[in-house]
Amino acid sequence: MPKIRNSDDSGSKFIGLRLHRDTAEFYSKRAKAAGTTLSEFLRNMIVQGMIAESAYEIEQRMRRLLDEIHAGGQTGERAGIPDELLLSVFMSEYLLTAIIEARDIQKLYEAQDAAKARLAELKGGTDGKT
């Protein structure tokens, strides 16, 4: 049996992967429908999974931070956080989610609208101070 090279000139590395027959058939059909090879399809799935996991972790950290800020600002003010900063945080949250779902400019506008709505919601929870 010929020896399999671990890398090629492009710097990629071969990693063998054994899939159950039904699983391999399922992903092969998905790859074919996407117009790509099984290898490329699985590489993209792995990358998308890592992006989704990272986005989820970032979202959770932002939520915890905002909860801490909100809890510390129970005096009726938001501890001097400028609206632009809050808008950026909320937009980042929605934009990261949107990137995962689809790469579409409309998602950017939806993320901006969602961020503005979140800011308005937060402002409604205070005494109206900015």
* Boundaries of every domain in the chain: 21-124
Q: What are phi and psi of 19, to 5 degrees?
A: -115, 145
Contact (Cβ atoms closer than 8 angstroms) between residue 90 and residue 119: yes
3-class DSSP assignment, residue 7 = strand
pTM score, two decimals? 0.43
- DSSP track, 101-121: H---HHHHHHHHHHHHHHHHH
Question: Strands, E, within the chain: which ranges?
Answer: none
Positions in the chain short of pLDDT 50: 7, 127-130
